[in-house]
Structure 1
Amino acid sequence: MAPKILIVLTSFGEIPGVGPTGWYLPEFAHPHEVFHKKATLVIASPNGGKAPLDPNSVKMFESDPVAKNFLDTQESLWTNTEKLADMLARVDEFDAIFYVGGHGPMFDLTTNKTSIQLIESFAAKHKPITAVCHGPCVFLNTKNSSEEPLIAGAQVTGFSNAEEDAVKLSAAMPFMLETELQRISGKTNGYGGALITGQNPASAGAVAEAILDVLG
């Protein structure tokens, strides 16, 4: 039986004073390429409905055939997302949860109580919790059953401070992801389940492959 994966997109589409943002095209396109013939996918976002696609990622990856094909043929996946809150009662249906990155999640999913509760529920059931690029920001405020940081002592990757500086968005971010991941994950203990993270857009396909490997 094919595994069932919950994919979460941001609902945040505009950085004040900077411009449009959202989820990052290749970070959904390349995992979809890996998943779509081998898994059942459900797409959700905090607000449901249309999840904003970062137009900068469309421009940046216009020569990427996988990203372009996904953009041209799969629009319904991000324009008709389910509401994240409706997933809370459905955790048992899924085998893993995967967060697509982009700058959007930094602003809404980091502190979204529904998202935090979902991740903690997946973790409590030892289901893989996974994310790519800026996506690992969703783990920063999660806790285990002992009320300790869920990712304490874990090896976590994400978009680096140097990369944020390079794209000239450090000043626009609510926090620096690398700094916060190091601060939280540097504590003792450790997550005992499957935690899979990818460092940047180029890691997205490999994260998807790793998820399928863990799910067998």
Structure 2
Amino acid sequence: MSSLIDKAKSALSGHKKPKVLFVLTSHDKMGNTGNPTGWYLPEFAHPYYKLEGKADITIASPKGGEAPLDPSSVEMFKEDAESTKFLKEKESLWKNTEKLSNFLSKADEFDAVFYVGGHGPMFDLATDPESQKIISDFYEKGKVVSAVCHGPAALANVKLSDGSYLVSGQEVTGFTNTEEDQVGLSSAMPFLLETKLQENGGKFVKAEPWAAKVVASGKGNKLITGQNPASAGPIGEAILKAI
């Protein structure tokens, strides 16, 4: 009997957790405004807590090392319990990120990649060739490719091996032009995310400004995007379900 229990235990312990690569921006300046930017606190915290314990999570950024946290998101979400807990307990996650280029040709080792939002990705991840290669590789190998808020900027310009845009013909969402106007930052952006996703063939769908919206499309519904900070928890749940 005890040997049966031991076998069952070893079978269970041999069951590997799914692996998710979280990607943060390395960009810390908001266009030519001189104001700080970076990744957005709840858009890392909420998905992280949805997946913590259920998946092995690796954190990367284009430059590696410390990835800049947008200070405005700390202020904006100081009443949000998960965000404040994350800020207090998980600092090592964004202070010691791995270099994103280390994950080129490593899609087979993961089940999903997730791009955290914040205005930073509009300036670095939107045009990062290594990031784009990683995304197309993950997608073509049937892995989950996901992003929230401004995170889909990293997906907008990605081309697949046949030369077509990843988002072409797919339902996608992200931070809307209306939301960008409402925060008064449209003029500080290198492009408008909703417009860019549409230009590259994406079928942009959206909820009312600031309401949660998550869309799954693409091969096996594995292209998962979220509209805004309110979508951060729901996209974490969608990623968990997909893996």
Normalised by the length of structure 2, the TM-score is 0.85
Partner of residue 233, structure 2 = 205
Q: Per the alignment, in what secondary structure is the counterpart of residue 23 of structure 1?
A: coil
- Give matches, 1:58-77, under 5 Å: 58-77=74-93
Does residue 1:17 correspond to 2:45, yes or no? no
- Give matches, 1:33-72, under 5 Å: 33-72=49-88
Aligned-residue offset at 1:145: 2.2
Letter in 2 for 1:138: A
Partner of residue 128, structure 2 = 112
Quickly say closer, same or farther: Cα 1:186–1:94, change in 2 above 3 A: closer
**RCO greater where, 1 or 2, for CA within 8 Å and sep 6 or more?**
1
Contact 1:5 1:95 in 2 (8 A): yes
Partners of 1:104 and 1:47 in 2: how far apart? Answer: 13
Task: Report Cα offsets for 1:149-176 as digits up to 9, x if no partner.
Answer: 1110000000011110111110000001
Partner of residue 3, structure 1 = 18
Contact 1:12 1:22 in 2 (8 A): yes
Letter in 1 for 2:126: T
Unaligned runs of 5+ in 1: none
Q: Per the alignment, in what secondary structure is the counterpart of residue 197 of structure 2?
A: helix
Aligned-residue offset at 1:182: 1.6
Q: Per the alignment, in what secondary structure is the counterpart of residue 58 of structure 1?
A: helix
Q: Percent identity?
A: 57
- Give matches, 1:189-204, under 5 Å: 191-193=218-220, 194-204=222-232
Partners of 2:92 and 2:187 in 1: how far apart? Answer: 33
Equivalent of 1:149, from 165, 177, 181?
165
Q: Per the alignment, in what secondary structure is the counterpart of residue 114 of structure 2?
A: strand
Partner of residue 96, structure 2 = 80
Letter in 2 for 1:3: P
Q: Per the alignment, in what secondary structure is the counterpart of residue 76 of structure 1?
A: helix
Partner of residue 100, structure 1 = 116
Contact 1:156 1:185 in 2 (8 A): no
Contact 2:172 2:202 in 1 (8 A): no
Q: Per the alignment, in what secondary structure is the counterpart of residue 13 of structure 1?
A: coil
Contact 1:101 1:131 in 2 (8 A): yes
Does residue 1:171 correspond to 2:149, yes or no? no
Contact 1:18 1:172 in 2 (8 A): no
Aligned-residue offset at 1:103: 0.1
Normalised by the length of structure 1, the TM-score is 0.95
Q: Which has the larger radius of gyration?
A: 2
Partners of 2:120 and 2:98 in 1: how far apart? Answer: 17
Task: Report Cα offsets for 1:87-118 as digits up to 9, x if no partner.
Answer: 11422111000000000000000000110000
Partner of residue 126, structure 1 = 142
Letter in 2 for 1:13: D
Contact 1:155 1:185 in 2 (8 A): no
Partners of 1:50 and 1:179 in 2: how far apart? Answer: 31
Aligned residues: 213
Q: Per the alignment, in what secondary structure is the counterpart of residue 21 of structure 2?
A: strand
Partners of 2:20 and 2:60 in 1: how far apart? Answer: 11
